[in-house]
Structure 1
């Protein structure tokens, strides 16, 4: 007798052990993923947080000057400070308390002095109208020394009685000096071993003069009248004459010479040029709150200035913010103050005493407001959201607004979803519910294989091949979705009116795609050929040519189509699996009760699959928000907030990919890019969290309905 018994070894203890270990392993992996995400968040915050830290100041050593004469000019660089008094005595003084260098007479009695915008040179003016240009030089390892770029002899700017000097070092190596008497202003262009070129301007009662660093503008304050003269012509031309309604005591130029500060008892106001139909003109931009009468000192290389009251109240301002970024109380009675070139120190003088203050203010222009709100930048016609990280000159003000990239990210993601969602969901519904099993085995893997196409290839095709063809057939491209929808509706209407025998033959066993696909392709070709032809015949030229000023070849439309094409496989796969995973017994029961296939689909299958479909859409949206290469290659990569379907854009991910290799480690630009990454990660987490919450609620709701049924 043959024993057919097959021994089965079953160990309930072993199974429980394996289940327990598997559960612990999965739990540990989940905790590890959460830990990695937490560490990533903490690292990003650690990199970004210094951008928004408050400035600080630390008192340095206080030194006795042993000088009774007041200083007309002073400055500091490195470990040295320098000053020139009204007797023409210049002296270098160490800032660490060591003995000062011997004093040197640089000129005879001096009535006034003027420094260049960077405080690297000083012009001394004598009562007889003589001038002498002096530069403190710290390049010699043996110690600082005085240089005379125009020679050590006095030059004559004009007759006696000149006051209110101004000085600029021009790019061509020349110097522009200005001074005024009771009736006119004298200008002198100076160069080594060349005669002085003088010009005179009638301007009575001048109280102060300023020359732009490039030598193209002269600002003259006379009473309550501010005049701006153009100097880049053969003869000085009066460009602006502004009557000031508030008393002004002093004018100061910010770094770069584009912004003018007017200070008086009512505070400090900022002015700069704005283009108009008649050219650029000086305009009042903002008034800094919390300022009053006091000493106004600007940094040489950044658009930062300080107001020091007679009582010693220090208020630090950045030109992009109306409010002070820092307050501190210094000793009262400060008569002179100067920032170091890098802005990391402040030298003050009071009652024959020097004191050096160390400043920690590395990113004064970056604030939460400048990142998210409109800012009125120099020479812009109005406040705006602007991203401009690179600069043509060192003193040029960088603009770090994330709003253009956030808006670009949302616009690109939403348009891509608008393109991909109908196609992917319609394909998933038809494939899972209506398509024959044999055809489904071919179609589903084919669509899923589309997801293996690299996004850089999709972006390359969109930028080089699709963009010019969309421009050439723009009218047809815009009309194509409506024509395809109309074609499908007409096909459905016509199918119901066919004889029963024809309808059974044409639409049996999943033959619909064999008829619809060629028909839709034919309609697409006809639409792309006919509509541009009609558009050119009616208007004489194509739509893209008519919109030439408002049409960029690589635009939001091209990016949306390309990104939508990349999203279709992902959304289709997840949605089709969700629909196909609905128990067949639910659909069969609905059909057995007399419901039509469409009623069964809309009222039984889709509600049951809604959690999975919603998850597919949210995963696709998150994928669209993080897409980099397609938008980088198909949109022109222009950071702009406004603009519609035919304009370019820039997304957060593309901005990081483009500018991170150029950003200096530890700079404001570098940290702002990390802030972009943090914002993008937060967006993704918020979207995924909301999607999971909604999915769980949908799942709970329809599982209860199924249980009750």
Structure 2
């Protein structure tokens, strides 16, 4: 035999090149993953940050008016191309907002006139000595000048109270207008329709200083000194519903968009009132005072959002939103403003002062969105109290979106926590038994079988849970609730009984992992008793199951279904990682413990499990992260109810499921769209924080028990 040494092949140039290339590829892939995560985080921030941008106003430009007489009504179109005004002599003007020459004045009303507008500023009721006249500014297609429209004719209608200065108008539908007038002795309610005689109702109520009709024409508000009254408008006429005596006489009352919120301005500032449901029906109630709001000049509201502005004689402009405690925007403008109007979309402001207009561009796309409205209780219109509410869509334009993320966060934690509560004991117990007590031959079959469960798609698990498990659980709810207790009791009895067996029988029945062949039939019989026999006994005694006897109702798709289904999906993941961690503990540690006289159970709990604690903890955290991000199971197995309250048998909605449900319906760039991205960002940050803390704890456990092993 030759004594020539064999050359070390692993030191050749080709091997070193492959090692360097592999190391660089692995490092590059890791950096690429970090870069993708960073880009995802930046993209989510880019979509979300505009939600919290402050309102702004552009530099205004001046337009000289053709007539210096003060306006009684003014406004502009949605595109802010044209402005319109009606002066004290009934002259109507259309004025371009791009400094072009104005159109010729059109006499709308013969003589001196006062005006009141509908909530959307789209119809103007002119009143004077000649009677009443309804006019509408009609904006045409691009390139054509707007025109004045007279829905009820171009001749004044006879007023029921000649010379009345207390008038309000509402436009409930396309062909119907309601007009409320007040004289020193009574209130008159008129209903006008084209080509039809007006309907008239009278109400004896003296001393009314201001009237307001709700936009839908169902409520009438009247102010008389410090007395505030509310009437329901029925087909038979107005019916008094509420009477409130205020601490001081208000200066004025106004309605926010939609007509549900009433603004009451007095010496203390501006307060918000709206209806609250009670046993005797809805009643008007004081809700809150807007911080810093005062009625020292002009108060104007937007047509489609719960936003209003105050403008003082000194030129202080403040914007307020119904969800915010104080002003969302403040700016010093010109002094001495006589009239003002907001654009229909709230993106423009028109001011009139001494024969001049100043037109400003406003940027206030999401006035209702703030950290407070997302994470704290908000008192919404017609709700009995402040609450966490998610209700994002509705059919009408006056709907106020409710975007509280708290119900989804709580739903996510509930579902993930219950899934972990279900999966953790099963997965860890199976991992401990498989890695330490089970015979090698049986382990080779059991471990791959459990791991194959992880290949089931979550959508399939969710479909089975929603269509099959939910109705089955509803019929066998008592047995399902008792099943964990019964299984634990059977296991404890078996353990107690095995200790009292003779050593010879114990070795035959429980030695070398054979106890599983006794436990499986007993556990199957226990499950059969709880899920089949017990429901039969319950139905024979009571005639119906426990789910049907719940006084608060039972939702068939609920948190329990989601927890069981998600727990089933988590078991293979936690089992695989925990079993590998236990099995990878050096065999010498366990053999040394057994050699010193410890029992297998003492060796497992006091030697093997501490050594595998870092891996087991990592398995639990990875399972928890999977549960937090689970979408399809929660989507299909629960009622998707965004509520903060509710127990085990009520529905929930998670952040991931909420994004999956509502993202297809969200308009790109809208508040709804961006808040859904905020939900995804919150979920991403929460997952990163949990995983980071888990990794720190895992490293500490690994270091602690690694040092103990070295010292041992």
Q: Is the 8 A contact 1:166 1:177 kept in 2?
A: yes
Does the residue aligned with 1:146 lie in a helix, a strand or coil?
Answer: strand
Corresponding position: 1:561 with 2:564 = yes
Provide the residue aligned with 2:123 in structure 1.
121
Corresponding position: 1:60 with 2:63 = no
C-alpha deviation, 1:537, in angstroms:
5.4
C-alpha deviation, 1:23, in angstroms:
2.8
Q: Is the 8 A contact 2:128 2:163 kept in 1?
A: no
Provide the residue aligned with 2:578 in structure 1.
575
| Counterpart-to-counterpart distance in 2, 1:209 and 1:92 | 29
Provide the residue aligned with 1:545 in structure 2.
548
Provide the residue aligned with 1:323 in structure 2.
326
Residues 104-183 of structure 1 mapped to structure 2, 5 A cutoff: 104-128=106-130, 130-140=131-141, 141-171=143-173, 173-183=175-185
| Counterpart-to-counterpart distance in 2, 1:161 and 1:241 | 28
Does the residue aligned with 1:476 lie in a helix, a strand or coil?
Answer: helix
Provide the residue aligned with 2:696 in structure 1.
693
Corresponding position: 1:519 with 2:522 = yes
Number of equivalenced pairs: 707
Corresponding position: 1:528 with 2:528 = no
User: Aligned Cα RMSD in Å?
Assistant: 1.5
Question: Which 5+ residue runs of structure 1 have no aligned equivalent?
Answer: none
Q: Is the 8 A contact 2:426 2:571 kept in 1?
A: yes
Provide the residue aligned with 1:504 in structure 2.
507
Corresponding position: 1:602 with 2:601 = no
Does the residue aligned with 1:575 lie in a helix, a strand or coil?
Answer: helix
Task: After superposition, give the CA deviation of every residue in 1:63-105 in whole Å (9 maximum; x if it has no partner).
Answer: 2224232211100112111111121111111112221111111
Residues 599-678 of structure 1 mapped to structure 2, 5 A cutoff: 599-678=602-681
Provide the residue aligned with 1:70 in structure 2.
70
C-alpha deviation, 1:111, in angstroms:
4.0
Provide the residue aligned with 1:493 in structure 2.
496
| Counterpart-to-counterpart distance in 2, 1:157 and 1:218 | 19
| Counterpart-to-counterpart distance in 2, 1:6 and 1:438 | 43
Does the residue aligned with 1:75 lie in a helix, a strand or coil?
Answer: strand
Residues 233-244 of structure 1 mapped to structure 2, 5 A cutoff: 233-244=235-246
| Counterpart-to-counterpart distance in 1, 2:602 and 2:534 | 38
| Counterpart-to-counterpart distance in 1, 2:676 and 2:100 | 44
| Counterpart-to-counterpart distance in 2, 1:172 and 1:538 | 61
C-alpha deviation, 1:154, in angstroms:
1.1
Corresponding position: 1:35 with 2:35 = yes
| Counterpart-to-counterpart distance in 2, 1:103 and 1:405 | 57
TM-score (norm 2): 0.97
Question: Which 5+ residue runs of structure 2 have no aligned equivalent?
Answer: none
Cα 1:378–1:317, aligned 2, differ >3 Å: closer, same or farther? same
Provide the residue aligned with 2:25 in structure 1.
25
Q: Is the 8 A contact 2:273 2:287 kept in 1?
A: yes
| Counterpart-to-counterpart distance in 2, 1:209 and 1:625 | 54
Q: Is the 8 A contact 2:211 2:220 kept in 1?
A: yes
Corresponding position: 1:48 with 2:51 = no
Provide the residue aligned with 1:219 in structure 2.
221
Q: Is the 8 A contact 2:293 2:326 kept in 1?
A: no
C-alpha deviation, 1:529, in angstroms:
3.1
| Counterpart-to-counterpart distance in 2, 1:643 and 1:494 | 41
| Counterpart-to-counterpart distance in 2, 1:335 and 1:534 | 81
| Counterpart-to-counterpart distance in 2, 1:557 and 1:397 | 33
- Larger CA deviation: 80-89 vs 26-35: 26-35
Does the residue aligned with 2:513 lie in a helix, a strand or coil?
Answer: coil
Q: Is the 8 A contact 2:161 2:183 kept in 1?
A: no
Q: Is the 8 A contact 1:117 1:300 kept in 2?
A: yes
Q: Is the 8 A contact 1:61 1:97 kept in 2?
A: no
- Residue of structure 2 aligned with 1:413, choices 413, 416, 421: 416
- Larger CA deviation: 676-685 vs 56-65: 56-65
| Counterpart-to-counterpart distance in 2, 1:346 and 1:70 | 18
Q: Is the 8 A contact 2:51 2:674 kept in 1?
A: yes
| Counterpart-to-counterpart distance in 2, 1:496 and 1:40 | 58
Provide the residue aligned with 1:255 in structure 2.
257
Provide the residue aligned with 1:245 in structure 2.
247
Task: After superposition, give the CA deviation of every residue in 1:181-200 in whole Å (9 maximum; x if it has no partner).
Answer: 11111111001111111111
| Counterpart-to-counterpart distance in 2, 1:124 and 1:438 | 95
| Counterpart-to-counterpart distance in 1, 2:532 and 2:234 | 56
| Counterpart-to-counterpart distance in 2, 1:127 and 1:262 | 30
Provide the residue aligned with 1:334 in structure 2.
337
Does the residue aligned with 2:250 lie in a helix, a strand or coil?
Answer: coil
Q: Is the 8 A contact 2:55 2:328 kept in 1?
A: yes
